[in-house]
């Protein structure tokens, strides 16, 4: 139908200047493409920031829960029998120990490093219930 109008009127629906086709409203289309690309970039950046914030909040929540768990399971006893199965050093009365739910005993620093990576007992692999 457009071809018929063109043939009938002998006037093209666009202007030709130096072999360049200029369509009315072309700048509008170009601007919309630029705005769309910019908007996609902004949205992509926002989603990255939101995911980082979400990860940070989960990590901080996990760390505070872990600290509360370790604090509630600390023991300061004079019984220095045995050794920590993580660092293979004997227990002494100057270092704080932690007894897990499964009754395995570790140095506080050793077990904290372990539990930050994996929430199971290093000896029996029983999962720990940390709120």
With residue 106 as reference, give the H or E element that holds it: strand 105-107
| Rounded-to-integer distance, Cα 54 and Cα 101, Å | 29
Question: pLDDT (tens digit, 9 = 90+) per residue, 58-89?
Answer: 665 566 777 788 887 777 766 677 888 889 88
| Rounded-to-integer distance, Cα 84 and Cα 91, Å | 7
How crowded is the C-beta side of 120, counted as CA atoms within 13 Å? 7
Looking at per-residue pLDDT, the higher value among 26 and 106 belongs to: 106
Beta bridge partners of 120: 127
Q: Which domains does the chain have, with CATH numbers?
A: 1-46 (no CATH), 55-131 (3.30.40.10)
- DSSP-derived letter for residue 126 is P
- Supply the pTM of this predicted model: 0.49
Lookup: tokens for 11: 């006037």
Taking a C-beta distance cutoff of 8 angstroms, is the pair 88, 123 a contact?
no
Is the model's pLDDT at 39 over the cut of 50?
yes
- DSSP-derived letter for residue 94 is T
Three-state SS at 74: strand
């Amino acid at each position: 139908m457009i071809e018929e109008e063109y043939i009938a009127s002998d006037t093209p629906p666009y202007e030709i200047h130096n072999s360049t086709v200029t369509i009315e409203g072309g700048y509008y289309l170009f601007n919309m493409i630029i705005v769309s690309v910019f908007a996609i970039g902004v949205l992509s950046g926002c989603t990255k920031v939101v995911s980082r914030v979400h990860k940070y909040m989960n990590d901080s929540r996990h760390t505070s829960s872990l600290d509360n768990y370790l604090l509630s399971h600390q023991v300061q006893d004079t019984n220095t029998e045995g050794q920590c199965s993580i660092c293979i050093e004997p227990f002494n009365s100057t270092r704080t120990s932690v007894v897990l739910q499964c009754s395995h005993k570790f140095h506080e620093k050793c077990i904290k490093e372990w539990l930050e990576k994996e929430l199971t007992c290093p000896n029996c692999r029983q999962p720990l219930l940390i709120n």
